[in-house]
A and B are shown apart, each in its own frame.
Chain A
Amino acid sequence: MENFTPISAAIGGAMIGVSAVWLMASAGRIAGISGIVGGALGAGQGDKLWRWTFLVGLVLAPLIVGLFNPSFLEIDFPTTGPLLILAAVLVGIGTQLGNGCTSGHGVCGNARLSMRSLLATFTFMATGIVTVFIMRSLGGV
């Protein structure tokens, strides 16, 4: 518990919430990152520009935060190499198959009291916790 940072976590969480509410109020869309990415890459026209501008904002944002406080950009990747690639494949397939991730199901879906999102969130939390437990037990990470 030595790195417990509830205040910055809650502030950041509230910012994510404001973003989700603004995206719904202005564009009528759910702030689900895996869905926005999937649509940005998918076939069809007309429905893409708003997705790409959202993603550009998402990618640029840390640099702006870093101008004020560079310590936010000091991060660590405990997993590297083949395991990192495997993880990215699982995240890619899992979010498309399950129609959502931490944002679409975890925040937006649960905020709408969607049973699908609630069960998805429970499921990915559970397999995430079990995965970390197994990695710790095997001495990795």
Chain B
Amino acid sequence: MRLPLSTFIAGLLFGGGLTVSQMVNPEKVISFLDITGSWDPSLAFVMGGALIVTALGYKLVLKRKGPLFDDRFRLPTRKDIDAPLLVGAALFGVGWGLAGLCPGPALASASFAGPNAYIFVGTMIATIFIYRIIKARA
């Protein structure tokens, strides 16, 4: 049970960070992307803070033989730049800009933000589910 407990704690920290940084607030995210309007650069500090801690932490952690509660580190190995990567990122960015929500903040907001959060999260999860079924059959 140590593995699921440790990831529960990671989830709490992640959601806490999203809340404290106000990344869960769609209006704040849209203001961050609104660089030609009344730009609010706050979220650059979220990304920056997360990146610095993660880059330094990964350097230390990945020197070890493996993780504490599993057999090995599972890191992405792909290096190729292909069309699905760029098309997918482009589509995601359009959705992110439209609603001011990306997957983590959307899920976190579902515990307190009411109908709009349910609509977004429900639609997003249904889409991911259907996408994976179609992909598994292809």
Binding site for B on A (CB under 8 A): 1-6, 8-31, 33-34, 37-38, 41-43, 49-66, 72-73, 75-80, 83-103, 105-112, 114-116, 119-121, 123-133, 135-136, 141
Contact = CB atoms under 8 A, between A and B. Distances in A.
A132 B97 contact: yes
B60 to A, nearest CB: 8
Nearest to A66: B112
A125 to B, nearest CB: 7
Contacts of A19: 10-11, 13-14, 17
B53 interface: yes
Interface residues of B, number: 118
B26 A1 contact: no
Contacts, number: 488
B113 to A, nearest CB: 6
- SS of A interface (majority): helix
A97 B34 CA distance: 26
Contact of A73 (B31, B55, B96, B112): B112
B11 A55 contact: yes
Looking at chain B's contact residues, the main secondary structure is helix
Contacts of B73: 24, 28
Most buried by A among B33, B50, B57, B69: B50
B28 A79 contact: no
A17 to B, nearest CB: 3
B52 interface: yes
Contact of A77 (B23, B95, B116): B116
A59 B57 contact: no
Nearest to B129: A41
A119 B50 contact: no
B69 A26 contact: yes
A30 B76 contact: yes
Contacts of B120: 84-85, 87-88
